[in-house]
Amino acid sequence: MIRMQPQGRVLIIAGSDSGGGAGIQADIKTVSALGGYAMTAVTALTAQNTLGVHAVHSAPPDFVAAQISCVLEDLGADVVKTGMLGGAAVIAAVCAALEGRGLPLVLDPVMVAKGGASLLAEEAIAHLKRRLLPLASLLTPNLPEAEALCGMRISTEAEMHHAAEALLTLGVPAVLLKGGHLPGDDLVDLLVTDVETITFRSRRIATRHTHGTGCTLGSAIATYLAQGRSLPDAVSVARDYVRAAIETAPGLGQGHGPLNHLVWQTNG
């Protein structure tokens, strides 16, 4: 047996998914499968399955901050990735714990679960825009999240370009705008910075097993960045990984099923 040492430390700040398809569970599986070392600060516990989120129990903000500090002061991190944060108080605690550390941050602005349940309080959006976005290295919204953040309707690829540019003005240096909510068989994601726009295109996979795709993509990008890849390369390979995980999904559950996070093993 070949024993591999993990490469790239990723601190994940997000909520737990009892169904194992999204949230902290998907993040840990992804980072580990791609050869990184995953650490966590849990922001909330959720009672959920493939049919939806049935209950949420939020962690106290000071306890979220304590988890972050304990990890960073001992183990350190190469990249931080955030997911479900829940409310303004937790966002403030996360910002206070990360400010001044200079760590790359992949920010997945988790707002709505796959089944439609709200995962970010309305009043927290302004707090996220004001305090957390300026700390981010990469913002990875889907279209509904981007609409909430930039206040514009996005229904075409041209409008995606306008929205991505608008998101850059909020203080984040790079945006990966995910176009999976647009109709049609062709999928378009845009990676936009001040100097370039890179368009990623693929064909939609006809499946209901897409629970946790956003969490998985963000954690895959974070892992590859922690391992020293460039941002465009990290995004490209992470998208390939997510596609393979969807194509080989185990078919579990009656609703939006989980992906096969183990489709690639250690630096696939």
Report the alpha-carbon distance of residue 41 to residue 257 in Å, rounded. 25
Strands (E) in 161-243, as ranges, are 174-178, 186-193, 197-203
Looking at the DSSP bridge assignments, the partners of residue 197 are 192
DSSP letter assigned to residue 249:
-
* pLDDT of 123: 76
Cβ count near 199 (within 10 Å):
13
Residue 258 identity (one-letter amino acid): P
Domains for the chain: give ranges and CATH numbers: 9-247 (3.40.1190.20)
Instruction: Answer whether 45's CB lies under 8 Å from 53's CB.
Output: no
Measured between alpha carbons, how far is residue 74 from residues 11, 38, 65, 79 in Å?
A: 12, 14, 14, 15
Residue 114 has pLDDT above 70, yes or no: no
Q: List, for residues 189-209, the tens digit of each pLDDT value.
A: 999 999 999 999 999 999 999
Percent of the chain at pLDDT > 90 equals 83
Residues carrying an active site annotation:
178, 210, 212-215
Q: Which residues contact 206 (CB under 8 A, 6 or more apart)?
A: none
pLDDT bracket for residue 267 (50, 70, 90)? very low
Task: Give the residue-averaged pLDDT of 83-102.
Answer: 94
Q: Which of 113, 144, 138 is nearest to 210 (CA)?
A: 113
